[in-house]
Chain A
Amino acid sequence: MKEISELHFPENLRYSTDHEWARPDKDLFVVGISDYAQDRLGDIVYVDLPATGSKIKKGADFGSVESVKAVSELFMPIGGEVVAVNTQLGDTPELVNSEPYGNGWMIKVKPGDPGEYQQLMDQKSYLDTLKG
């Protein structure tokens, strides 16, 4: 595991208390897990994602991520309809470790209420919670 200072947290997205991130992409939001989350989970071996078309509320679980340590649930940072899932993670779940904000993205959500994005933490508040 790395020190917080060794981890990367982009400023152009927002973070949930459960360590998911969301990034606006036109009228959608791309969702994944933070560098902190992937580092604490360790090597990820399986990612279970919902079917496209699923409508899931903010805070409800949308899938799970399995590392050699444990299985952890994934929670929606923004409620809405899942319009795309990252099928690449089926064969290469390690992308979540290597590129958590890039090719390791998990789902794209069409938000029920785009205002929920503003309720998430910005990079600075998220870093403050991690440093405790």
Chain B
Amino acid sequence: MIGTTGLIFNEPLLWELGAPGREAFSQPAREVPEQPVDPDLTGPGPDFPDLSELEIVRHYTRLSQWNLSVDSVMYPLGSCTMKYNPKTNERQASLPGIASAHPLLPEAMSQGLLRLIFDLEQWLAEITGLAAVSLQPAAGAQGELTGMLIFHAHHASLGRPRTKILIPDTAHGTNPASAALCGFTAVPVRSGPQGILEPQAVADLMDEETAGIMLTNPNTLGLFEANIRQVAEIVHAKGGLVYADGANMNAVLGVVDMSAMGVDVLHLNLHKTFSTPHGGGGPGAGPVCVTAKLAPYLPVPRVVQAGERLAWRSDFPLSVGRLHAFYGNFGILVRAYSYILSLGADLAQVSRLAVLNANYIQAGLKQDYHLPHDRPCMHECVFTDQRQLAHKVSALDIAKRLIDYGFHPPTIYFPLVVSGALMIEPTESETKETLDHFIAAMRAIAREAEQNPELLHQAPHHAKLRRLDEVKAARKPCLMG
């Protein structure tokens, strides 16, 4: 057991610290006289505590010490690709010429930044096998929405807007919401007994009212949709389009050509696959990649080559419009650019190792945990709590106990098609030694479930805070300080 010992500080809320009038640094004297403001525009000010800089630094440093992060432990949160983010990417993104660039700099003074955008688009096109890319969407879900807007724009431009989208039950969880936000009705498609789509199930539902299909490959069971080409042919034959959610791109980077699979639109999560920090609520980046046929619908403005220079252009009449101020979350794009440059041709090795690691864990745990689909997986493997339920131990208890062993829990209760799911994604970052530690911890927990279930019900035992009341937090959230 890696275990947890040491001095971890209690920490009050910010509102319980500080004193009236205390501040982080002295404000410079005002150069203009104070002016009254229209009372209609004012109101009671926000209830911010008055704190010194050191109080703030210690507060957040101490809270961060309570935290489990990928810099401290293995973080096998399935579907989230919590890989290690190399520090060189942070360094490049913080170079003053990049970090301090104003978004309103004229084109002539920002050619280097435009080049970074232009090149990154070209590289992502090459990596995915698709023709054109927009880096503008700020997150995976916004990339999905952009893709759905492009679906709609395509059908509308043909004079036949469509109303439905097929979504397999193994697609990424946000897909139905993105389709619904764009006004489509999400039609669920059941996956077959092998855990993947069967062409007939798609053929039975696909019609000329259906704009296309939105799927994730590999799917959320960590399985490759082996029938993807037949599925794409069925959808295309009825005039539909194929959307692939790139959430699981870490399994197929530089290995699979998305256009050869029949994909028309794909989004990438730079904050997952291309190693930029995530998990704190943002910022992210969800570039959208499309076939040449759909390129006219991409968001504007776009960076184009204009003679020897690069320039912004918005004169694309079929474009779905602007999705984000300026050009997306530029700092995230820099990190992805740096990551791709660092790895070069080794990018494909990222996916090979991610898949190998997941299969190593799957093989190492299938004697102890129920494996609903016993076949080679891609970058993540999905077990269930079925055997442990016999001892009244649930996926939640197993996840909480893993914290005591020094691991972040895996994703639990997702995908929904598997009852009591434990979804484990080790990523390529982990060494064999760490994977062996993880397997040993999971096996030890399986024995504990049989011999001492109460130990698991009470877990975690070593964390700063014990079992949190998640129900109360959801029913009666305290949103104030």
A residues with a Cβ closer than 8 A to B are: 1, 40, 43, 45-46, 66, 68-70, 72, 93-94
Given contacts A1-B389, A1-B394, contact A68 B419 (CB under 8 A): no
Contacts of B433 in A (CB 8 A): none
Which of B360-368, B450-458, B469-477 makes up part of the contact surface?
B469-477
Given contacts A40-B419, A70-B413, contact A45 B389 (CB under 8 A): no
Name which residue of chain A comes closest to B414, CB basis: A70
- Tell me, rounded to whole Å, the shortest Cβ–Cβ distance linking B457 to chain A: 13
> Which of B394, B416, B470, B475 sits near A70, CB closer than 8 Å?
B416
> Which of A40, A68, A72 sits near B470, CB closer than 8 Å?
A68
Contacts of A43 in B (CB 8 A): 470-471
Given contacts A1-B389, A1-B394, A40-B419, contact A45 B414 (CB under 8 A): no
Contacts of B416 in A (CB 8 A): 70, 72
Given contacts A1-B389, A68-B470, contact A45 B475 (CB under 8 A): yes
Q: How far is the CA of A1 from the CA of B397 in the complex (A)?
A: 12
- Tell me, rounded to whole Å, the shortest Cβ–Cβ distance linking A65 to chain B: 12
Q: How far is the CA of A12 from the CA of B475 in the complex (A)?
A: 32
Q: Do most interface residues of chain B lie in helix, strand or loop, or is the interface mixed?
A: mixed
Q: Do most interface residues of chain A lie in helix, strand or loop, or is the interface mixed?
A: loop
The answer to whether A93 and B413 touch across the interface, beta carbons within 8 angstroms, is no
How many B residues touch A, CB cutoff 8 Å? 11
Contacts of A40 in B (CB 8 A): 419
Contacts of A70 in B (CB 8 A): 413-414, 416
Given pairs A43-B471, A69-B412, 16 additional interface contacts (CB within 8 A): A1-B394, A40-B419, A43-B470, A45-B474, A45-B475, A46-B474, A46-B475, A66-B474, A68-B470, A68-B471, A69-B413, A70-B413, A70-B414, A70-B416, A93-B475, A94-B475
Mark out the residues of chain B between 408 and 423 whose CB falls within 8 Å of any chain A CB in the assembled complex. 412-414, 416, 419
Q: How far is the CA of A43 from the CA of B416 in the complex (A)?
A: 16
Name which residue of chain A comes closest to B389, CB basis: A1
Contacts of A93 in B (CB 8 A): 475
Q: How far is the CA of A69 from the CA of B471 in the complex (A)?
A: 10
Given contacts A1-B389, A40-B419, contact A68 B474 (CB under 8 A): yes
The answer to whether B419 and A45 touch across the interface, beta carbons within 8 angstroms, is no
Contacts of A66 in B (CB 8 A): 474
Name which residue of chain B comes closest to A66, CB basis: B474
Contacts of B419 in A (CB 8 A): 40
Q: How far is the CA of A45 from the CA of B412 in the complex (A)?
A: 18
Q: How far is the CA of A75 from the CA of B312 in the complex (A)?
A: 48
- Tell me, rounded to whole Å, the shortest Cβ–Cβ distance linking A16 to chain B: 16
Which of B414, B416, B419, B474: most chain A Cβ within 10 A?
B474
Name which residue of chain B comes closest to A43, CB basis: B471
- Tell me, rounded to whole Å, the shortest Cβ–Cβ distance linking A53 to chain B: 21
Q: How far is the CA of A111 from the CA of B80 in the complex (A)?
A: 44
Identify 14 residue pairs between A and B in the complex whose beta-carbon atoms are under 8 Å apart, listed by A's number: A1-B394, A45-B471, A45-B474, A45-B475, A46-B474, A66-B474, A68-B470, A68-B471, A68-B474, A69-B412, A69-B413, A70-B413, A70-B416, A94-B475
Q: How far is the CA of A8 from the CA of B448 in the complex (A)?
A: 31
Q: How far is the CA of A78 from the CA of B357 in the complex (A)?
A: 48
Closest 4 CB pairs of A and B: A45-B474, A69-B413, A43-B471, A68-B470
Which of B394, B470, B471: most chain A Cβ within 10 A?
B471
Q: How far is the CA of A70 from the CA of B396 in the complex (A)?
A: 13
Q: How far is the CA of A85 from the CA of B419 in the complex (A)?
A: 29
Name which residue of chain B comes closest to A93, CB basis: B475
Contacts of B474 in A (CB 8 A): 45-46, 66, 68
Mark out the residues of chain B between 432 and 475 whose CB falls within 8 Å of any chain A CB in the assembled complex. 470-471, 474-475
Q: How far is the CA of A1 from the CA of B392 in the complex (A)?
A: 7
- Tell me, rounded to whole Å, the shortest Cβ–Cβ distance linking B124 to chain A: 32
Contacts of B412 in A (CB 8 A): 69
Q: How far is the CA of A43 from the CA of B475 in the complex (A)?
A: 10
Q: How far is the CA of A70 from the CA of B414 in the complex (A)?
A: 8
Which of A45, A93, A94: most chain B Cβ within 10 A?
A45
Contacts of A72 in B (CB 8 A): 416
Q: How far is the CA of A72 from the CA of B188 in the complex (A)?
A: 13
Name which residue of chain B comes closest to A72, CB basis: B416
- Tell me, rounded to whole Å, the shortest Cβ–Cβ distance linking B321 to chain A: 30
Which of A40, A66, A69, A93: most chain B Cβ within 10 A?
A69
Contacts of A45 in B (CB 8 A): 471, 474-475
Q: How far is the CA of A94 from the CA of B389 in the complex (A)?
A: 23
Q: How far is the CA of A72 from the CA of B419 in the complex (A)?
A: 13
Name which residue of chain B comes closest to A68, CB basis: B470
Q: How far is the CA of A43 from the CA of B413 in the complex (A)?
A: 13
Q: How far is the CA of A43 from the CA of B468 in the complex (A)?
A: 14
Q: How far is the CA of A72 from the CA of B474 in the complex (A)?
A: 16
- Tell me, rounded to whole Å, the shortest Cβ–Cβ distance linking B189 to chain A: 15
Contacts of A1 in B (CB 8 A): 389, 394
- Tell me, rounded to whole Å, the shortest Cβ–Cβ distance linking A47 to chain B: 11
